[in-house]
Amino acid sequence: MEITLDQALQQAVAAHREGNAQEAERLYLAILQAQPDHPDANNNLGILTIGLGKTEAALPLFKKALEANRDIEQFWLNYIDCLIKLERLADAAIALADAKHAGVAAEELTSLEEALLLAKQGSGSSKKKHDTDLDAPPQEQIDTLFSHYQSNQLEAFEQLAISMTETFPAHQIGWKALGVVLKQTGRLSESVAPMQRSVALSPQDPEAHSNLGVTLQELGRLDEAEACYQQAIALQPDLAEAHYNLGNTRHELGRSDAATASYQQAIALQPNYIKAHSNLGNALQELGRLEEAEESYQQAIALQPDFVEAHSNLGNTLKELGRLDEAEASCRQAIALKPDYAEAHYNLGVTLKELGRLDEAEASYRQAITVRPNYTKAHLNLGNMLKELGRLEEAEVNYRQAVTLEPNYAEGHYNLGVTLQQLGKSDKAVASYQHAIALKPEFPEAYYNLGNAHKNLGELRAAEERYKQAIALSSGYAEAHYNLGNTLLELGRLDESKTSYQQAIALQPSIC
């Protein structure tokens, strides 16, 4: 009879306590084969491995346990203790600072801080000459640097990092620290050069490549960021965060397929990676793989029930799947969690409109705009709905707001043109259509409606030209053929008019 993972863990712990290391190891490994990131199995196998004198082999096990669940204090303690045993003292100091930030009780860390101090004192004399030979900062200076970072004294941290880069320009630590503090204090562009120097001095450091990638990504230098993340992954294939950030970069580059693969790899390494599940849902939705997107959002919500963005995006996906009542419920859940979340109000508006509840839809769009006055899509969709309701003056106001906020939004200018034309303002509609076409030259609907506006103004030859341009872009555009026929008829070109009418009827027999 097969046993569950929980049962296997209980048996492994029992064997471990009884001193049956071989059986305990077998069971822990079996659990990890089924679930590689199982935090308790990784942690306990790490303890067992240290007991067998294999401290180096224990470190990645403790690290995986911690990555899977950073809320367990014992995981932090075991990981830091292992780093100290391996004399990776700088890493241990960073881990101690991270543990404090994660909320590990100070009294729990006291003994480790003392052990780290003793280890540094013990290694100080033997390292002193060695450090000098390597042109490296003395251990005392490195300790001070980390102390500044741990206590959030960023100005002192920065000044010491600068001093290190000047005194020990061939050593990585000063450059790495300088890059980190410049980024952390919002000086992204300035942080690039020291981060690049850090990578050049220590090309085998995956964290340095990853840090540089994050900065380049935030600066919009996406191709360079992608290369950095790929290098970090090549050096450390199990670096889940690098896979996740690579996915974000590829998504921004418009390569949703590649982004999906990166998010899936991050999740394979760290199944509880909430943001990876959510962003995977975003990429899948863009690819039209809606059922899979729904599953990803549901997984993110299962891991974090108050994940507002996931509820809102799930609502959008359910709307696309035609499950409007469920979509409404998801949007309302997002709003309940975060009443000022504009996207949720907007998505609710879209859903309510499709449900035919127009008054409520209007209220949702207006609430989205109240929360975020520069929300272009909300202005545009509110304008669309108002236009459909015949409230043209109000629609015009919203379209004008949309194109003011986003002047390069071709659809906004086009919809404004349609509204102006319906209001009898054909001369102004012409300008809006022309603006839309300048932004989006292959826009047959804009050419067609521009033709209508010219025709309304009595500018028949201009109308003829625009209809022909619409047809050149979309040969099956029956309305354009028909209105071209009307225009040619008014111009007295009967044979050409007849040909256009025949083409329109062939495409759409009911057009007359």
The answer, yes or no, to whether residue 132 has pLDDT greater than 50, is no
Q: Please say whether the beta carbons of 488 and 499 come within 8 A.
A: no
Pick the residue with more confidence: 358 or 89?
358
- What angle separates helix 240-252 from helix 206-218, to the nearest 10 degrees? 30
Render 367-389 in DSSP notation, one character per residue. Answer: HHHHH-TT-HHHHHHHHHHHHHT
Render 38-58 in DSSP notation, one character per residue. Answer: -HHHHHHHHHHHHHTT-HHHH
- The band of 124, judged by pLDDT with boundaries at 50, 70 and 90, is low
Which token pair is 143?
């300790």
Residue 130 DSSP code: H
> Averaging pLDDT over each range in 135-149, 161-175, 469-483, which range is the top one?
469-483
> Amino acid letter at 333?
Q
Domain boundaries of the chain, sorted by first residue: 442-512
Q: Using CB atoms within 10 A of its CB, is residue 463 exposed (0-12), middle (13-18) or buried (19+)?
A: buried
Residue 73 DSSP code: H
The answer, yes or no, to whether residue 434 has pLDDT greater than 90, is yes
Each residue's pLDDT tens digit, 261-299: 999 999 998 888 999 999 999 999 999 999 999 999 999
Phi and psi (nearest 5°) for 227? -65, -40
> Averaging pLDDT over each range in 79-88, 179-188, 440-449, which range is the top one?
440-449
Each residue's pLDDT tens digit, 489-508: 999 999 999 999 999 999 99
Render 83-120 in DSSP notation, one character per residue. Answer: HHHTT-HHHHHHHHHHHHHTT--HHHHHHHHHHHHHHH
Please give the pLDDT value at position 128.
47
* 178 closest CA partner among 217, 148, 221, 151: 148
- Give per-residue burial for 259-289: e unless 16+ CB within 10 Å, then b: bbbbbbbbbebbbbbbbbbbbbbbbbbeeeb
Each residue's pLDDT tens digit, 38-64: 999 999 898 888 877 788 888 899 999
Task: Return the CATH architecture of domain 442-512.
Answer: Alpha Horseshoe (1.25)
Each residue's pLDDT tens digit, 339-366: 999 999 999 999 999 999 999 999 999 9
Q: How many CA atoms lie within 13 A of 263 on its CB side?
A: 25
Please give the pLDDT value at position 89.
82
Q: Please say whether the beta carbons of 148 and 156 come within 8 A.
A: yes
Q: Using CB atoms within 10 A of its CB, is residue 103 exposed (0-12), middle (13-18) or buried (19+)?
A: exposed
The answer, yes or no, to whether residue 129 has pLDDT greater than 70, is no
Residue 340 DSSP code: T
